[in-house]
Homo-oligomer: A and B are copies of this chain.
Amino acid sequence: MNSTILTSINPLTNETYEMPAILDDRKAIDDFLKKNGSKPVVVVQGLGFVGAVMSLVCANALTEDYAVIGIDLAREDTYWKIKSINKGTFPIVASDPKIEEFYQIARAKNNLYATYDPYAYSQADVVIVDINLDVAKESNFYGDLDGYDVNLTAFRKAIQAIGNNCKEDVLVLVETTVPPGTCQKVVYPIIKECLEQRGLNTDKFKLGHSYERVMPGPNYIDSIQNFYRVFSGIDKRSAVATETFLRTIISTEKYPLTELGNTNATEMAKVLENSYRAMNIAFAVEWSRFAEEAGVNLYEVVRAIRMRPTHKNLMLPGIGVGGYCLTKDPLLASWSKQSLFDSKNGLGQSEQGVKINDKMPLYAYQFMKQEVGVDDFKGKKVLLLGVSYRSNVGDTRYSPVEPFYNYLLDDNAEVFLHDPYVRHWEEKEIEVEENITQVFKEKLDIVAITTGHVEYKDSHKLMNLLFSQDKLFILDTIGILTEEEITKLSEKHIVRVVGRGDIK
């Protein structure tokens, strides 16, 4: 019962913000809107990886001038984002220079404000829903998925907050990845009921769905502003309103919009898209094992097959799948089929993709153990190059490096971590070294390349550092080393690559 729950720390500036005792930001919102005159008001619900950047894109709309309000909860882990946006530091660090550029333009125009007060919804012409909808996976230490649960409670509450405050003719645009059927069976009835209870007309609000394909990284802004969009409305009016709005923020001439028949269809498109990708990755897993057994270089096999235009999507071997989408979307879909559409069967093959991918870090780890030829890493110093799940980005959400790291600890290894993009590994609550020379000052036994960062690719520096060590076991989990590098390194060290049985 101390005061820590009443503060929120900004990890970017280390400032500590005291959280408001009474959640009333009405005056500041009114002031902000007054300054913005008659501009249409867009409220973005959720200031995470999607919402925060979506609010920038709306504040920098192509053919309209919006007053944009980002809204999130006043919680320890979110309140700092609200304060940070208003105080001059954008809460997301990314390699895309457009982020800072867009943020500074919005600051100069004074058309972006952040708040925690649901009063904002009452002023909105458009509300964009960008909150998370999580899947609770029940997995054991070895990545076996024993079960999972989709809990809509927080999502329903967020929609209620809109319904309890919004104008009767608002456009609610859902961007969150949801179980197919959610707009029709969850969002629409909630907003309708809220409006009824408030004695308002329930025939005027518009509900659209258009999923984002946001890619944190160097093309962060472009993955919203300059990319294909699929959309739908709960009815024709809603579809028209959604299209009209999207045309103001997206370069639709270059990236034409695609309208689908109903919201179930667009909701399905998003999870199908990600399930497909997850399954494609899973496909490479068992062939990696086969290649290792049969003395085959799976990378060259895949590249040879990709010559065929119909087989371009074939994926390469690797350490696993991370991030927020591919690790859960197939489960959202399967849950929906059974729970929202009362089907006897889920989507077994799509679920299978997640299950296989969840085991990838273990396979990579077992391959390493087998090739090192030990049962335990006691007394061994192991360096992991990369903890992020994606190349050239500092994103550790559901990173496959996490279980790989856990297995090493469990086998008593002393583990060192390097990542040029990650200072603090949130999930493990541990610091990560950014200086590669520093981590090589240790006398290492094993070096595993676990992320495909550009810093590890064709790197003279890394090669020199590896050569500066006594005999190492080097594991490339993602096929980043060139043939030349492997040949050279093999003169002194033992080199193994996941998915390659041709190196012995």
Binding site for B on A (CB under 8 A): 180-181, 213, 228, 230, 258, 260-262, 264-265, 268-269, 272-273, 275-277, 279, 282-283, 285-287, 289-291, 293-297, 300-305, 307-308, 310-314, 333, 337, 341, 343, 345, 347-350, 352, 356, 502
Contacts of A283 in B (CB 8 A): 275-276, 279, 349-350
Give A265 Cβ to nearest chain B Cβ, in Å.
Answer: 4
Beyond A265-B300, A289-B343, 5 additional pairs, beta carbon < 8 A:
A265-B301, A268-B294, A275-B283, A276-B283, A279-B283
A269 to B313, Cβ gap below 8 A? Answer: no
Give A334 Cβ to nearest chain B Cβ, in Å.
Answer: 9
Give A274 Cβ to nearest chain B Cβ, in Å.
Answer: 10
Residue of B nearest to A290 (CB): B337
Give A487 Cβ to nearest chain B Cβ, in Å.
Answer: 14
Assuming the contacts A268-B290, A279-B283, A295-B264, asked whether A258 and B304 have C-beta atoms less than 8 A apart, the reply is yes
B307 to A262, Cβ gap below 8 A? Answer: no
A283 to B333, CA, bound (A): 13
A502 to B337, Cβ gap below 8 A? Answer: no
A289 to B181, CA, bound (A): 15
A286 to B347, Cβ gap below 8 A? Answer: yes
Contacts of A308 in B (CB 8 A): 213, 228, 273
A252 to B114, CA, bound (A): 61
A304 to B260, Cβ gap below 8 A? Answer: yes
B295 to A262, Cβ gap below 8 A? Answer: yes
Contacts of A286 in B (CB 8 A): 345, 347-350
B261 to A296, Cβ gap below 8 A? Answer: yes
The one of B180, B272, B301, B345 in contact with A260, judged by C-beta atoms closer than 8 angstroms, is B301
Contacts of A285 in B (CB 8 A): 349
